[in-house]
């Protein structure tokens, strides 16, 4: 297979015996398979990385809420034992760390470890 791109980086893949002049109605340049893959699958933009980091942060915060809701209820009702209270405290510490994360620095984010 041979690969071609046009001036707008649209990629075409043709069988080795196909002439690009017969199949493509514009000027194209032959490129390698690796170049074609890179053009067709560009690395994510900074904005996309920030959006992914925001989604991850929200998901992790939702996980904290899920893990702590019962423990908070037990705390309010004074029915929590020491082990549960320590676990709740660990999750709240983790939440505090999550809330300090600046997602605009994606992909250079050091995510805290889940308790």
Report residue 45's pLDDT band, with 50, 70 and 90 as the boundaries. very high
Nearest partner of 73 among 88, 57, 83, judged by Cα: 88
Report residue 22's pLDDT band, with 50, 70 and 90 as the boundaries. confident
Domain ranges of the chain: 2-40, 46-105
Report residue 80's pLDDT band, with 50, 70 and 90 as the boundaries. very high
How far is residue 28's CA from residue 12's CA, in Å, rounded to a whole number? 9
Q: Please state, in angstroms and as integers, the Cα–Cα distance from residue 88 to each residue in 32, 41, 46, 59, 64, following that order.
A: 55, 43, 35, 18, 10
Q: Are 107 and 49 in contact (CB under 8 A)?
A: yes
């Amino acid at each position: 297979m041979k690969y071609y791109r046009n001036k707008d980086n649209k990629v075409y893949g043709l069988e080795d015996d196909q002439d690009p002049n017969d199949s493509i109605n514009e000027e194209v340049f032959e490129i390698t398979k690796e170049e074609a893959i890179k053009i067709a699958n560009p690395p994510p933009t900074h904005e996309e990385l920030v959006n992914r980091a925001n989604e991850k942060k929200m998901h992790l915060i939702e996980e904290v809420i899920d893990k702590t809701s019962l423990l908070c209820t037990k705390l309010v009702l004074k029915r929590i034992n020491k082990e549960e209270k320590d676990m709740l405290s660990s999750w709240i510490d983790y939440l505090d760390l999550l809330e300090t994360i600046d997602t605009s620095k994606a992909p250079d984010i050091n995510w805290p470890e889940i308790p």
